[in-house]
Amino acid sequence: MSSTSNPALFRKLPSTDELLRRSEIHALSQREGATVVGDAIRTVLERLRHEIANNRLDESSLDLALSGLSSAIERELRYSLRYSLRPIINATGVILHTNLGRAPLGSAALDHIRNIASAYSNLEFNLESGERGKRDVHVDRLFQKLLEDHVGTAAPGSPGDQGSTPLARTTIVVNNNAAAVLLALNSLAEGGEVIVSRGELVEIGGSFRIPDVMSKSQATLREVGTTNRTRIADYERAITERTRLLLRVHRSNFAITGFTEQPSLADLVALAHRRGIPLVEDLGSGALFDLREIGIANEASVFDSLRAGVDVVTYSGDKLLGGPQAGLITGRADLVARMRSNSLFRALRVDKLTYAAFEATLLAYVKHDRHAVPVLRMMHLSKDEISARAEIVASHVNSAGKASAKLKLKLIDGESVIGGGAAPTAVLPTRLIALTHQEQSADELCARLRQGDPPIIARVEEGRVLLDLRTVFPEQDATVAEAISSL
Ligand SMILES: *Cc1c(COP(=O)(O)O)cnc(C)c1O
């Protein structure tokens, strides 16, 4: 029992006004503003009152708390003004992790964002004519260049094939790929039917489901085939005068194996063109490079699909492409023009920050500079390079006195995951740092890494914490080593 009664303890608490007159608190409110400092004072005093009321403070512990009152207020202020959105270290090895913000941007993109966003710009202003311009031109011109280099002329026999003249293709940008699919379906198929294989009626997560997007777009879904087998004849039989589109959807997050059949893209293109119906492909990830470079076969790039004769492709800006969040629609100019003139396009358009980041990212592709795009760099890292960095981290942790004897660190072979709707089975060989502790579970270790500053996100498998340096920036390796050591 405390010798002082509660009322006497309450009387020891200074008032908000008294505290605001203290020189250090006064300086704080000059710097950060009186309102937020007042709020921090009230929060700290309220906490003390609560502790007194619950008999958790006696006279001496209250005196101690009061002697540190100014710094407690400052801490509270810092906490309340802290950003909620924080950088983290991604040691999961999942290169495109939707929960962790997908693709990090390269420095050219960040510089361009800063330059464009901190000043006025020619976003919709034609500097030559002095007249209103279109925001699309800033990235379409780079796409034109990439398409010329990688796709060339139209597939023979396609509606866009005008002899030897290249097929006119346009690219537009919307908020994300979900928006791109919605815009494409609504612009090209409102009031009509869209034929989709039952094996492609996918849910991507975050409530993107093809049947739902279809109904929002005011198009009617015409399902054909079965979950595991759809033939070209199934599409053919379903075509009526109401058919507006054939839609192919990338199986981004699952694989169907066993007794399966799916018409080839070439067969679908041939059917669509024979019947004069556009073929739209939702590629999901949409790479602008050949995934065979990193040992992944059977994953078509944007260019592969267009070269095969697909009329319109939709894909994300922040998946395999490695740019900002966006949805891209690339395809036959006449079809894309119908999307441009749809009022939905205005509602789904992106801002100058996105255009700036995109332009810089695409320039890296034009220059074949894959080091400028962080996710491309990560995908191209060899297991040996990752292994060498993991050895350095391990030796730092194991160096005398750094780690507790109870922490065991081992390097093991494993796999990084591309994620973000590339082939669900696409993995890259890597070398992992595996941690176990005599007294702490893997989940506890993982939580401690996550609660550090900066937070480090790792994965737990078979009772071990696994860290994959593929998705860690090399300049973060030392921070990772320090965090492991402090476990
Ligand atoms: C990821 C994905 C989407 C959604 O793309 P967002 O850019 O996240 O809106 C749509 N379709 C497929 C096939 C995808 O993989």
**Rg value, the chain, Cα:** 29
pLDDT in tens, 23-64: 999 999 999 999 999 999 999 999 999 999 999 999 999 999
Identify the pLDDT of residue 258: 81
Atom of ligand 1 lying closest to residue 98 CA: 8
Q: How far is the CA of 316 from the centre of ligand 1 (A)?
A: 6
Identify the pLDDT of residue 2: 45
Helices (H), 103-176: 107-117, 137-150
For residue 344, which of 219, 480, 206 has the smallest C-alpha distance? Answer: 219
Identify the pLDDT of residue 321: 96
Q: Which two tokens stand for residue 31?
A: 């710097």
Identify the pLDDT of residue 18: 94
> What is the rounded distance in angstroms from the CA atom of residue 396 to the CA atom of residue 484?
10
Q: What is the mean pLDDT of residues 221-227?
A: 91
Q: How far is the CA of 358 from the centre of ligand 1 (A)?
A: 18
Q: 437: which residues sit within 8 A by CB, 6+ positions away?
A: 406, 407, 408, 444, 445, 487
Q: In the structure, what pLDDT confidence band is assigned to residue 257 with cuts at 50, 70 and 90?
A: confident
Q: How far is the CA of 272 from the centre of ligand 1 (A)?
A: 24
Q: Does position 20 have pLDDT exceeding 90, yes or no?
A: yes
Q: 121: which residues sit within 8 A by CB, 6+ positions away?
A: 352
Residue identifier of the C-alpha nearest atom 12 of ligand 1: 284
Q: How far is the CA of 178 from the centre of ligand 1 (A)?
A: 6
In the chain, pLDDT over 70 holds for what percent of residues? 94
- Contact 315 CB / ligand 1 (< 6 Å): no
Q: Where are the beta strands (DSSP E) in 135-191?
A: 169-174
Q: In the structure, what pLDDT confidence band is assigned to residue 299 with cuts at 50, 70 and 90?
A: confident
Asked if 324 and 354 count as a contact pair (C-beta separation under 8 A), the reply is: yes
Return the amino acid letter for 363. L
Q: What is the mean pLDDT of residues 2-10?
A: 73
Residue identifier of the C-alpha nearest atom 5 of ligand 1: 177
Atom of ligand 1 lying closest to residue 325 CA: 7
Helices (H), 190-264: 210-216, 232-238
Q: In the structure, what pLDDT confidence band is assigned to residue 247 with cuts at 50, 70 and 90?
A: very high
Torsion angle of the four alpha carbons 426, 327, 282, 271, in this order, in degrees rounded to the nearest 10: -140
- Contact 250 CB / ligand 1 (< 6 Å): yes
Q: Does position 148 have pLDDT exceeding 70, yes or no?
A: yes
Give the end-to-end CA distance of the chain in Å, rounded to a whole number: 39
Q: What is the mean pLDDT of residues 418-429?
A: 80
Q: Does position 165 have pLDDT exceeding 80, yes or no?
A: no
Q: What is the mean pLDDT of residues 73-96?
A: 96
Q: 426: which residues sit within 8 A by CB, 6+ positions away?
A: 291, 296, 299, 417, 418
Return the amino acid letter for 87. P
pLDDT in tens, 168-222: 999 999 999 999 999 999 999 999 999 999 999 888 766 788 899 999 999 999 9
- Contact 421 CB / ligand 1 (< 6 Å): yes
Q: How far is CA 86 from the centre of its chain?
A: 14
Identify the pLDDT of residue 204: 74
Cis link prior to 166 (omega < 30° from 0)?
A: no
Identify the pLDDT of residue 6: 82
Q: Does position 256 have pLDDT exceeding 90, yes or no?
A: no
Q: Does position 117 have pLDDT exceeding 50, yes or no?
A: yes
Residue identifier of the C-alpha nearest atom 3 of ligand 1: 284
For residue 228, which of 202, 208, 200 has the smallest C-alpha distance? Answer: 200
- Contact 175 CB / ligand 1 (< 6 Å): no
Q: In the structure, what pLDDT confidence band is assigned to residue 163 with cuts at 50, 70 and 90?
A: very low
Asked if 164 and 156 count as a contact pair (C-beta separation under 8 A), the reply is: no
Identify the pLDDT of residue 203: 80
Identify the pLDDT of residue 402: 59
Identify the pLDDT of residue 138: 94
Q: Does position 485 have pLDDT exceeding 80, yes or no?
A: yes
Q: In the structure, what pLDDT confidence band is assigned to residue 228 with cuts at 50, 70 and 90?
A: confident
- Contact 282 CB / ligand 1 (< 6 Å): yes
Q: How far is the CA of 292 from the centre of ligand 1 (A)?
A: 22
Q: How far is the CA of 263 from the centre of ligand 1 (A)?
A: 22
Across the chain, what does the average pLDDT equal?
A: 92
Q: What is the mean pLDDT of residues 113-138?
A: 96
DSSP 3-state percent helix, strand, coil across the chain (nearest 5): 45, 20, 35
- Contact 177 CB / ligand 1 (< 6 Å): yes
In the chain, pLDDT over 90 holds for what percent of residues? 82
Regarding predicted confidence, which is higher, 375 or 227? 375
For residue 370, which of 449, 271, 293, 481 has the smallest C-alpha distance? Answer: 293
Residue identifier of the C-alpha nearest atom 13 of ligand 1: 284
Identify the pLDDT of residue 365: 97
> What is the rounded distance in angstroms from the CA atom of residue 151 to the CA atom of residue 167?
10
Order of strands, sheet of 94-96, starting from the edge strand that comes earlier in the sequence: 94-96, 407-419, 427-437, 464-468, 459-461
The pTM score is 0.90
Regarding predicted confidence, which is higher, 295 or 389? 389
Return the amino acid letter for 252. S
Among 20-29, 364-373, 424-433, 471-480, whose mean pLDDT is lowest? 424-433
- Contact 174 CB / ligand 1 (< 6 Å): no
Q: Which two tokens stand for residue 46?
A: 């309220």
Q: How far is the CA of 315 from the centre of ligand 1 (A)?
A: 7
Residue 439 burial (CB < 10 Å; 0-12/13-18/19+)? exposed
Residue identifier of the C-alpha nearest atom 14 of ligand 1: 284
Q: Which two tokens stand for residue 204?
A: 């991507």
Q: Does position 161 have pLDDT exceeding 90, yes or no?
A: no
Identify the pLDDT of residue 296: 87
Provide φ and ψ at 121, rounded to 5°.
Answer: -145, 170
